[in-house]
Homo-oligomer: A and B are copies of this chain.
Protein backbone atom coordinates (compact mmCIF):
# COMPACT_ATOMS: atom_id res chain seq x y z
CA UNK A 1 0.00 0.00 0.00
CA UNK A 2 2.83 2.40 0.77
CA UNK A 3 5.42 3.69 -1.67
CA UNK A 4 3.52 2.69 -4.79
CA UNK A 5 3.16 6.22 -6.21
CA UNK A 6 6.40 6.33 -8.08
CA UNK A 7 5.32 8.03 -11.28
CA UNK A 8 3.40 11.22 -12.02
CA UNK A 9 -0.25 10.38 -12.46
CA UNK A 10 -3.00 12.28 -14.18
CA UNK A 11 -5.38 9.95 -12.44
CA UNK A 12 -4.38 9.41 -8.83
CA UNK A 13 -5.35 6.42 -6.85
CA UNK A 14 -2.77 3.67 -7.04
CA UNK A 15 -2.42 1.58 -3.91
CA UNK A 16 -5.11 1.87 -1.29
CA UNK A 17 -7.60 3.72 -3.50
CA UNK A 18 -7.25 1.03 -6.10
CA UNK A 19 -7.79 -1.67 -3.51
CA UNK A 20 -11.01 0.12 -2.55
CA UNK A 21 -11.91 0.04 -6.22
CA UNK A 22 -11.63 -3.72 -6.49
CA UNK A 23 -13.43 -4.14 -3.17
CA UNK A 24 -16.31 -2.08 -4.43
CA UNK A 25 -16.64 -4.20 -7.56
CA UNK A 26 -16.72 -7.28 -5.35
CA UNK A 27 -19.30 -5.76 -3.02
CA UNK A 28 -21.56 -4.77 -5.89
CA UNK A 29 -21.26 -8.17 -7.56
CA UNK A 30 -21.88 -9.85 -4.20
CA UNK A 31 -25.06 -7.86 -3.73
CA UNK A 32 -26.36 -8.84 -7.17
CA UNK A 33 -25.52 -12.52 -6.65
CA UNK A 34 -27.01 -12.53 -3.14
CA UNK A 35 -30.27 -11.03 -4.37
CA UNK A 36 -30.41 -13.47 -7.29
CA UNK A 37 -29.90 -16.33 -4.89
CA UNK A 38 -32.56 -15.21 -2.43
CA UNK A 39 -35.17 -14.20 -4.99
CA UNK A 40 -34.64 -17.51 -6.71
CA UNK A 41 -35.25 -19.27 -3.40
CA UNK A 42 -38.45 -17.32 -2.79
CA UNK A 43 -39.77 -18.03 -6.27
CA UNK A 44 -38.85 -21.67 -6.49
CA UNK A 45 -39.99 -22.63 -3.01
CA UNK A 46 -43.34 -20.86 -3.21
CA UNK A 47 -46.25 -23.20 -3.76
CA UNK A 48 -47.64 -23.52 -7.22
CA UNK A 49 -51.10 -22.00 -6.64
CA UNK A 50 -52.63 -24.36 -9.21
CA UNK A 51 -51.81 -27.43 -7.16
CA UNK A 52 -54.74 -29.05 -5.35
CA UNK A 53 -54.32 -28.72 -1.60
CA UNK A 54 -56.98 -31.19 -0.65
CA UNK A 55 -54.57 -33.99 0.07
CA UNK A 56 -52.84 -32.12 2.85
CA UNK A 57 -49.50 -30.38 3.02
CA UNK A 58 -47.44 -33.55 2.73
CA UNK A 59 -48.96 -34.42 -0.64
CA UNK A 60 -48.37 -30.89 -1.91
CA UNK A 61 -44.76 -31.00 -0.80
CA UNK A 62 -44.35 -34.37 -2.50
CA UNK A 63 -45.67 -32.99 -5.74
CA UNK A 64 -43.28 -30.08 -5.41
CA UNK A 65 -40.11 -32.13 -5.14
CA UNK A 66 -39.18 -31.08 -8.66
CA UNK A 67 -39.19 -27.45 -7.58
CA UNK A 68 -36.87 -28.35 -4.71
CA UNK A 69 -34.59 -30.16 -7.13
CA UNK A 70 -34.54 -27.01 -9.28
CA UNK A 71 -33.71 -25.05 -6.13
CA UNK A 72 -30.73 -27.23 -5.30
CA UNK A 73 -29.46 -27.23 -8.89
CA UNK A 74 -29.81 -23.49 -9.32
CA UNK A 75 -28.35 -22.79 -5.90
CA UNK A 76 -25.33 -24.88 -6.87
CA UNK A 77 -24.92 -22.90 -10.09
CA UNK A 78 -25.30 -19.49 -8.41
CA UNK A 79 -23.02 -20.62 -5.60
CA UNK A 80 -20.42 -21.63 -8.11
CA UNK A 81 -20.71 -18.28 -9.88
CA UNK A 82 -20.00 -16.58 -6.56
CA UNK A 83 -17.08 -18.88 -5.81
CA UNK A 84 -15.59 -18.32 -9.24
CA UNK A 85 -16.03 -14.57 -8.91
CA UNK A 86 -14.49 -14.65 -5.45
CA UNK A 87 -11.56 -16.78 -6.56
CA UNK A 88 -10.91 -14.64 -9.62
CA UNK A 89 -11.30 -11.19 -8.07
CA UNK A 90 -9.05 -11.97 -5.12
CA UNK A 91 -6.19 -11.69 -7.59
CA UNK A 92 -7.41 -8.44 -9.14
CA UNK A 93 -5.64 -5.45 -7.68
CA UNK A 94 -6.74 -2.64 -9.95
CA UNK A 95 -9.67 -2.07 -12.25
CA UNK A 96 -10.16 -0.12 -15.45
CA UNK A 97 -13.30 0.89 -17.28
CA UNK A 98 -13.32 -2.13 -19.59
CA UNK A 99 -13.00 -4.63 -16.75
CA UNK A 100 -15.94 -2.93 -15.03
CA UNK A 101 -18.00 -3.21 -18.21
CA UNK A 102 -17.08 -6.87 -18.64
CA UNK A 103 -18.10 -7.48 -15.02
CA UNK A 104 -21.43 -5.70 -15.59
CA UNK A 105 -22.10 -7.85 -18.65
CA UNK A 106 -21.35 -10.91 -16.54
CA UNK A 107 -23.87 -9.68 -13.98
CA UNK A 108 -26.45 -9.17 -16.73
CA UNK A 109 -26.37 -12.92 -17.26
CA UNK A 110 -26.31 -13.64 -13.53
CA UNK A 111 -29.40 -11.50 -12.99
CA UNK A 112 -31.22 -13.61 -15.59
CA UNK A 113 -30.75 -16.78 -13.53
CA UNK A 114 -34.02 -16.54 -11.55
CA UNK A 115 -35.84 -16.37 -14.88
CA UNK A 116 -34.22 -19.52 -16.22
CA UNK A 117 -34.55 -21.24 -12.85
CA UNK A 118 -38.27 -20.51 -12.92
CA UNK A 119 -38.46 -21.95 -16.43
CA UNK A 120 -36.57 -25.00 -15.25
CA UNK A 121 -38.95 -25.53 -12.35
CA UNK A 122 -41.98 -25.14 -14.61
CA UNK A 123 -40.37 -27.61 -16.93
CA UNK A 124 -39.70 -30.17 -14.22
CA UNK A 125 -43.28 -29.72 -13.03
CA UNK A 126 -44.58 -30.27 -16.54
CA UNK A 127 -46.32 -26.88 -16.72
CA UNK A 128 -44.15 -25.89 -19.66
CA UNK A 129 -43.47 -28.51 -22.27
CA UNK A 130 -40.55 -27.39 -24.34
CA UNK A 131 -37.69 -29.02 -22.46
CA UNK A 132 -35.06 -28.48 -25.10
CA UNK A 133 -35.69 -24.75 -25.35
CA UNK A 134 -35.65 -24.46 -21.57
CA UNK A 135 -32.35 -26.27 -21.38
CA UNK A 136 -31.04 -24.12 -24.22
CA UNK A 137 -31.90 -20.94 -22.32
CA UNK A 138 -30.38 -22.38 -19.17
CA UNK A 139 -27.18 -23.23 -20.96
CA UNK A 140 -27.22 -19.90 -22.77
CA UNK A 141 -27.14 -18.06 -19.46
CA UNK A 142 -24.41 -20.30 -18.06
CA UNK A 143 -22.36 -19.94 -21.24
CA UNK A 144 -22.76 -16.16 -21.13
CA UNK A 145 -21.35 -16.16 -17.63
CA UNK A 146 -18.47 -18.44 -18.60
CA UNK A 147 -17.72 -16.19 -21.58
CA UNK A 148 -17.47 -13.04 -19.50
CA UNK A 149 -15.42 -14.76 -16.82
CA UNK A 150 -12.99 -15.70 -19.59
CA UNK A 151 -12.99 -12.20 -21.04
CA UNK A 152 -12.53 -10.57 -17.61
CA UNK A 153 -9.57 -12.75 -16.78
CA UNK A 154 -8.02 -12.33 -20.20
CA UNK A 155 -8.38 -8.54 -20.01
CA UNK A 156 -7.11 -8.30 -16.42
CA UNK A 157 -4.02 -10.31 -17.35
CA UNK A 158 -3.36 -8.37 -20.55
CA UNK A 159 -3.69 -4.99 -18.88
CA UNK A 160 -1.64 -5.85 -15.81
CA UNK A 161 -4.55 -5.40 -13.41
CA UNK A 162 -3.72 -8.49 -11.39
CA UNK A 163 -1.69 -8.53 -8.21
CA UNK A 164 2.00 -8.16 -9.16
CA UNK A 165 2.99 -11.06 -6.88
CA UNK A 166 0.62 -13.46 -8.62
CA UNK A 167 2.51 -16.44 -9.99
CA UNK A 168 2.12 -16.37 -13.83
CA UNK A 169 1.65 -20.15 -13.79
CA UNK A 170 -1.35 -19.74 -11.50
CA UNK A 171 -2.75 -17.07 -13.83
CA UNK A 172 -2.36 -19.50 -16.73
CA UNK A 173 -3.97 -22.31 -14.75
CA UNK A 174 -6.99 -20.12 -14.02
CA UNK A 175 -7.27 -19.19 -17.70
CA UNK A 176 -7.08 -22.85 -18.76
CA UNK A 177 -9.79 -23.74 -16.29
CA UNK A 178 -11.98 -20.87 -17.44
CA UNK A 179 -11.59 -22.06 -21.03
CA UNK A 180 -12.48 -25.62 -20.03
CA UNK A 181 -15.76 -24.63 -18.36
CA UNK A 182 -17.80 -23.68 -21.45
CA UNK A 183 -16.68 -26.88 -23.23
CA UNK A 184 -17.89 -29.09 -20.38
CA UNK A 185 -21.15 -27.14 -20.17
CA UNK A 186 -21.69 -27.65 -23.89
CA UNK A 187 -21.25 -31.40 -23.44
CA UNK A 188 -23.82 -31.36 -20.64
CA UNK A 189 -26.08 -29.41 -22.95
CA UNK A 190 -25.73 -31.94 -25.74
CA UNK A 191 -27.08 -34.59 -23.39
CA UNK A 192 -30.37 -32.64 -23.38
CA UNK A 193 -31.11 -34.20 -26.75
CA UNK A 194 -30.79 -37.62 -25.14
CA UNK A 195 -32.52 -36.94 -21.85
CA UNK A 196 -33.20 -33.57 -20.14
CA UNK A 197 -33.03 -34.93 -16.60
CA UNK A 198 -29.73 -36.65 -17.36
CA UNK A 199 -28.43 -33.32 -18.62
CA UNK A 200 -29.31 -31.66 -15.35
CA UNK A 201 -27.57 -34.38 -13.38
CA UNK A 202 -24.49 -33.98 -15.57
CA UNK A 203 -24.60 -30.27 -14.74
CA UNK A 204 -24.87 -30.89 -11.07
CA UNK A 205 -21.91 -33.24 -11.26
CA UNK A 206 -19.83 -30.63 -13.09
CA UNK A 207 -20.75 -27.94 -10.62
CA UNK A 208 -19.95 -30.28 -7.75
CA UNK A 209 -16.49 -30.94 -9.15
CA UNK A 210 -15.95 -27.21 -9.51
CA UNK A 211 -17.17 -26.58 -5.99
CA UNK A 212 -14.72 -29.05 -4.50
CA UNK A 213 -11.71 -28.16 -6.59
CA UNK A 214 -12.21 -24.46 -7.25
CA UNK A 215 -11.57 -22.66 -10.53
CA UNK A 216 -8.08 -21.58 -9.58
CA UNK A 217 -7.24 -25.15 -8.59
CA UNK A 218 -6.29 -23.85 -5.19
CA UNK A 219 -4.79 -26.36 -2.79
CA UNK A 220 -6.30 -26.16 0.69
CA UNK A 221 -4.95 -23.25 2.70
CA UNK A 222 -1.96 -24.16 4.82
CA UNK A 223 -0.91 -26.85 2.39
CA UNK A 224 0.16 -24.73 -0.56
CA UNK A 225 2.45 -26.63 -2.83
CA UNK A 226 5.91 -25.10 -2.78
CA UNK A 227 6.85 -23.09 -5.78
CA UNK A 228 9.68 -25.28 -7.04
CA UNK A 229 9.85 -28.98 -7.80
The listed residue with most B CB atoms (<10 A of its CB), out of A20, A40, A212, is A20
Query: Is residue A50 contacting chain B, with contact meaning CB distance below 8 A?
Result: no
- Please state if B134 and A214 are interface contacts (CB–CB under 8 Å): no
The listed residue with most B CB atoms (<10 A of its CB), out of A90, A133, A134, is A90
User: Which B residues are in CB contact (< 8 Å) with A33?
Assistant: 28
Query: Is residue A175 contacting chain B, with contact meaning CB distance below 8 A?
Result: no
User: Which B residues are in CB contact (< 8 Å) with A129?
Assistant: 56-57
User: Which B residues are in CB contact (< 8 Å) with A1?
Assistant: 1, 16
- Please state if A86 and B100 are interface contacts (CB–CB under 8 Å): yes
User: Which B residues are in CB contact (< 8 Å) with A112?
Assistant: 41, 45, 71
The answer, among B41, B90, B169, for a CB contact under 8 Å with A21, is B90
User: Which B residues are in CB contact (< 8 Å) with A12?
Assistant: 91, 163, 165-167
For A41-69 the 0/1 string (1 means CB < 8 A from B) is 11101100000010011100100000000
> How many whole Å from A164's CB to the nearest CB in chain B?
9
The answer, among B23, B160, B169, B221, for a CB contact under 8 Å with A94, is B221
A35-B35, A42-B39, A107-B37 are known contacts. Are A160 and B11 too (CB-CB below 8 A)?
Answer: no
- Please state if A96 and B170 are interface contacts (CB–CB under 8 Å): no
Query: Is residue A216 contacting chain B, with contact meaning CB distance below 8 A?
Result: yes
How far apart are the CA atoms of A100 and B80 in the complex, in Å?
Answer: 10
A83-B97, A163-B17 are known contacts. Are A24 and B24 too (CB-CB below 8 A)?
Answer: no
Given contacts A24-B86, A57-B129, list 8 more A-B pairs with CB under 8 A.
Answer: A8-B228, A20-B90, A27-B27, A56-B129, A57-B128, A71-B112, A97-B212, A101-B212
19 contacts between A and B (CB under 8 A): A1-B1, A5-B165, A10-B167, A10-B227, A11-B216, A11-B224, A24-B27, A27-B27, A31-B31, A32-B34, A37-B107, A38-B39, A40-B111, A46-B115, A53-B128, A75-B108, A83-B97, A98-B212, A159-B222
